[in-house]
Amino acid sequence: MSAELRVIPRDQHTISRRQISQNALRVLYRLHEAGHQAYLVGGAVRDVLVGLTPKDFDIATDATPEQVKGLFRNCRLIGRRFRLAHVVFGREIIEVATFRANVDDGSGDREVHDGGRLLRDNVYGTIEDDAVRRDFTANALYYAIADFSVRDYTGGFEDVQNRVMRLIGDPDTRYREDPVRMLRAVRLAAKLDFTIEPGTAEPIPRLAALLGEAAPARLFEECLKLFLSGHAVASFEGLERHGLLSALFPESAAALASNRSGALRSMVLAGLASTDARVAAGDPVSPAFLFATLLWPAFCRAWMKLQADGVQPVEAQRRAADRVTLHQVTTVALPRRFSLPMQEIWLLQARFPLRQRKRVTRTLSHPRFRAAFDFLVLRQTASDAHAADVAFWEEAQHDPDHAIALYPGEEEAAGDEDVPRRRRRRRRTPAAAG
């Protein structure tokens, strides 16, 4: 794709220095005063143009990382795949990238996998080169500190105005260079309320399997961006629409497809809507609860299959939780600090129908009780059968004895013990001396 420059002067765009981080302005001005080109670039420019407040402020320059480091004592260089300079101001980090070329100069600083995936890209070039190697036109806009204009080499300014997400270059080639771009297309369209341009969208279902080549740890980070940034419902629907859900969560996607009533999908969407509401309110959100929601359809399907094969319900629960987790981490590297609480949330669901005093006390004291109860409330969106349990445990948190009297439960339930008890050994009485 050739770069044709369009300059949008200050009086024809809405970007003001008041909307830019003071630390980012310090970096821009120092680079400019040292004789380098300096531009605010990417998501910050795009977000301001659509009326959002950017979270990050990235800068592009013709200065090499080493030159940037020479200008800032508070700078550190990071990355091998993409060499970058981070200028650190307390908790804020301003990322400074040198213009990258879109060709291999033979130096060995650009490495491409046989399948087309870009493994290393540290060949430096001009701003024109840099613009056409970026992913989407909306991310290839440059705000110049020299004259406060916006530089557009790919038609991104018009695409932002029309709220269109368009890939730069040939979509097949660009997705093969980095399959995670497919997830970025969905995520950014969800965040910005953009539509994905047809040519950009068409290859995604065909190439979705390429996500299997991405590092599971990177896909975990992408999942957090997809679902914990305030647009989880739109992201989930976008993954479904473009055939990516089965690539990220294959077992859940299969379970949702086989659930004719749609109850499981309704529950997942309700959980994601709740997550969006918490993000909007500034409340904390838990990755463990998020993944408990996203993988619940897979867990239910595995649990039912194991019971159909003759496994006892409690043992089937344990095996299903382990099986789903082990299968999922091969695609998305869910850390144990999240996968273990996720499993506890699932396994505690079996305790909620049981209302004997000792069991109630033990359940209330469980460190994962509150999250598990919130999950039970979420399950009620899929089935009214849980209404009595929700009412009981709502009351039990305030007055367990009154709840037990008000909502008498079963005397005993077989298969309740989801946590095995240790057998106590009798202490031996020491033999009398002499």
43 half-sphere exposure, CB direction, 13 A CA radius: 14
Is there a catalytic annotation at residue 152?
A: no
Beta bridge partners of 151: 7, 142
Q: Which amino acid, residue 356?
A: Q
| Active-site residue, 322 included | no
The residues, ordered by sequence, that sit 6+ positions from 23 with a Cβ below 8 Å of its Cβ are 57, 87, 89, 92, 94
What gap in Å lies between CA 129 and CA 156, rounded to an integer?
A: 15
Rounded CA-CA distance 353/416 in Å is 9
| Sign of the four-CA dihedral 15, 18, 21, 26 | positive
Contacts with 83 (C-beta within 8 Å, 6 or more apart), sequence order = 65, 77, 98, 122
Identify the burial level of 404 via C-beta atoms within 10 angstroms of its C-beta, where 0-12 means exposed, 13-18 middle and 19 or more buried: middle
Q: Would you call 56 helix, strand, or coil by DSSP?
A: coil
Q: Catalytic: 58?
A: yes
Catalytic residue among 58, 121, 159, 389: 58
| CA-atom Rg of the chain in angstroms | 27
Q: What is the dihedral of CA 275, 279, 282, 284, to 10 degrees?
A: 50
121, 130, 135, 152: which one is catalytic? 135
- Nearest C-alpha neighbor of 99 from the set 77, 122, 119, 81: 122
Stated length of the chain: 434
* Phi-psi region at 164: left, alpha or beta (left = phi > 0; alpha = psi -120 to 50): beta
CA distances from 409 to 54, 92, 95, 399 (A): 52, 54, 59, 16
Cα dist from 362 to 340, 358, 414, whole Å:
19, 6, 17
Question: Cα dist. 48→5, 33, 51, 146 in Å?
Answer: 21, 25, 5, 19
Q: Which two tokens stand for residue 169?
A: 């270059």
List the catalytic residues: 56, 58, 135
